[in-house]
Chains A and B, each alone.
Chain A
Amino acid sequence: MAAEGGYTRTAGAALAQRSIVLRPHGRSIEAIRTMKNRLLASAFVLAGAVAPAQAADPHLARNLAATCANCHGTGGRSVYEPLVGRPREKLLSMLADFRSGEHEATIMHQIVRGYTDEQLELIATWFSEQR
């Protein structure tokens, strides 16, 4: 059970490759904007800060995209299901097809429905801009 140095990738890769017989809605954008502004405003009042309220967190797109990493790799750099550097329009049309059911999926049709259109656009743009 003792792990040797450099074991990490081997363990993961081995698990995914051999094994077990294997190959490998929501809220309106307006409502979210209002909510954001209200929250930001109150945060600044509480902190007594003088900085002007922003529309959104400066790292919103990065943070949203990070929710995909568990299945698509850190920064979308999965060897199996990469998202990094893929064209924004392509990603958005795939997401739309998952949502409509046009693109059959085991799980993505359920996940995509948890994000707003605005969030999906931020995510697709972020991945498209990564190299």
Chain B
Amino acid sequence: MNLHRRDFLRATAATAAALALPRIASARARPHIVVVGGGFGGATTAKYLRMWSEGAVDVSLIERETAFVSCPMSNLVIGGLKKMADITLDYERLRSNWGVRVITDEALGVEPGRRSVRTARHGEIAGDRLVLAPGVAFESARIEGLAGNEERIPHAWKAGPQTAILRAQLEAMPDGGVFAMTIPRAPYRCPPGPYERACVVAHYLSTTKPRSKLLVLDANEGIIAKKALFERAFARYGTMIEYRPNSTLLAVDAATCEAEFEFERVRADVLNVIPPMRAGELATRSGLALINDAWAEVDWLAFGARGMPGVHVIGDAVFPAPGMPKSGHMANQHAKVVAAAILNDLAGLPPNPTPVVMNTCYSFVDDRAAMHVASVHQYDAAKAQLLPVPGAGGLSEEASVAEGRTALKWAYHIWADTLE
């Protein structure tokens, strides 16, 4: 059953690591890679660096939290279908199976010249290469009245205490109450996520508080992912879900639980504001080159940060290539490209000139049925970008219970591939 442990033992018993990476052995005994952020991107990078190097490189993973709480499936917790414990994992197997040095600390910034990361409690940690996977930061300050009131008006867009708060608010809501959620303009983390949340919240309300109302106030011109499928899913809840596009949130009032838009003011019993996002604070603190002053600029062969040799950025924090979603699946795929590129580089080889990444995102529409969107992205040398392959990927024809099961298996697999 413990497949990964077996894998690791096999790997360490294999031919001497020096054979696989001759340059490393001669240049210095043990290269050290420092990864910041133990989410889907960073944790996968740490594991694959250890696995693919057969233990020949040391890996430190700096993560501020002691637990890994999965955003994927966290909407099910909000809808009352799962518990926090079901989506809460830890870093133990990264340590025991793969020998990753997991450091619980806050990274304060990068010193690109010294190739090191400044931390709150462990001083400066230097590496031969740095990989930054800080996820997203929430721009609460762009919505008047929101900053400092995130417990009263939770986003629950980073799974953890916020998820539990929103669930508790929904449970406390009276029958006949109003649950209002706001969606920021794209790009944001997990394009179909807000619409999935609307569905599972509506499912909960329809079974327990059927006189309630769910307002979905979207800054975009329309549903931005799986549109036709979500329109059908919303319709199944009759008049309970009211979807309003072109609704840009301007201000909130935490005392009265009101939200102000250009043309209307909404009062809610539960107000779930998903704020605009940008690359995690670490990107700004480290002086990374940003596109639109928000997302890190990288090359698509090695995810190298522009203008910072030896520093790589992956996951939600990067400015996406065309058609590339900000997803856990995609962050996990970025991780494998960057791990391979770093190990090549340490061995004196160029990065793989033909990387491929792929994505699937499942969304639940009720307590059992889900639907997917999938894509495969190949490197286009002329455009120097990872681009979706035309004619590949696509959507479910409709949400189904069979895909609901697949969605749960997907979570099981990606958690294991990332953390075990």
Q: Which one of A44, A56, A74 has the highest number of Cβ atoms from chain B below 10 Å of its Cβ?
A: A74
Closest 8 CB pairs of A and B: A114-B376, A114-B392, A57-B352, A113-B392, A16-B412, A43-B350, A39-B353, A3-B90
A119 to chain B minimum Cβ distance, whole angstroms, is 7
Contact (Cβ within 8 A) B355 A111: no
Bound state CA distance, A12 and B161, in angstroms?
20
A: residues with CB less than 8 A from B are 1-9, 11-16, 19-27, 32, 35-36, 38-40, 43-44, 47, 49, 51, 56-60, 62-64, 66-67, 69-75, 77-81, 106-107, 110-115, 119
Selected interface stretch from B143-151, B206-214, B243-251, B398-406: B398-406
A12 to B413, CA, bound (A): 8
Asked whether, in the complex, the Cβ of B391 is within 8 Å of the Cβ of A12, the reply is no
Do the beta carbons of B353 and A36 come within 8 Å of each other? yes
A77 to B420, CA, bound (A): 12
Identify A40's interface contact among B93, B350, B372, B417, CB under 8 A.
Answer: B350
Q: From A35, which residue of chain B is reached at the shortest CB distance? A: B381
State whether B410 touches A63 (Cβ < 8 A): no
Question: Which residues of B are found within 8 Å of A70, using beta-carbon distances?
Answer: 329, 332-333, 360, 410, 413-414, 417
CA distance A75 to B84 in the complex (A): 29
Q: Whose C-beta in chain A lies nearest to the C-beta of B350?
A: A43
Question: Provided the pairs A71-B360, A106-B403 are in contact, do residues A15 and B392 lie with their beta carbons within 8 angstroms?
Answer: no
Give min CB distance, B389 to chain A, whole Å: 4
The one of A22, A60, A73, A111 in contact with B3, judged by C-beta atoms closer than 8 angstroms, is: A73
User: Within 8 Å CB of B410, what residues of A?
Assistant: 70-71
Contact count band on B: 35 or more
A81 to B413, CA, bound (A): 10
* Whole-angstrom distance between the Cβ of B81 and the nearest chain A Cβ: 6
B59-93: CB near A (< 8 Å → 1, else 0) gives 00000001111000100100001101111111011
Q: Within the complex, which residue of B160, B336, B401, B406 is in contact with A67, where a contact is CB–CB below 8 Å?
A: B336
| Complex Cα spacing A6 to B68, Å | 13
- State whether B402 touches A20 (Cβ < 8 A): no
Give the docked Cα–Cα distance between A24 and B353 (Å).
37
Contact B417 A74 (CB under 8 A): yes
- Taking CB atoms, residues of chain A closer than 8 Å to B329 are 70
Question: Closest residue to A60 on the B side, CB-wise?
Answer: B352
- Residues from chain B with Cβ under 8 Å of A19 in the complex: 81-82, 408
A-facing mask of B368-393, CB < 8 A → 1, else 0? 10001011111001000000011111
Known: A20-B76, A113-B393. 15 other contacts (CB 8 A): A1-B88, A1-B160, A11-B87, A21-B367, A22-B408, A24-B405, A40-B353, A56-B354, A59-B343, A64-B356, A66-B340, A73-B413, A74-B417, A113-B389, A119-B356
Residues on B with C-beta less than 8 A from A72 are 413
Asked if A22 and B368 make an inter-chain contact with CB atoms under 8 angstroms apart, the answer reads yes
B52 within 8 Å of A (CB atoms): yes
- Distance A35 CA – B354 CA, assembled complex (angstroms): 9
Contact present for B372 and A106 (CB under 8 Å):
yes
For B85, give its contact among A1, A13, A40, A59 (CB under 8 Å): A1
Q: Does B169 contact A (CB under 8 A)?
A: no
> What residues of chain B lie closer than 8 Å to A11, measured between beta carbons?
85-89, 415
What is the chain A residue whose CB lies nearest that of B400? A106
Q: How far is the CB of A14 from chain B (nearest CB, A)?
A: 6
Q: Cβ of B376 and Cβ of A57 under 8 Å apart?
A: no
B373 CB to nearest chain A CB (Å): 9
Question: Which of B88, B160, B340, B417 lies in contact with A73, CB distance below 8 A?
Answer: B417
Q: Which residues of A contact B413 (CB under 8 A)?
A: 69-73, 78, 80
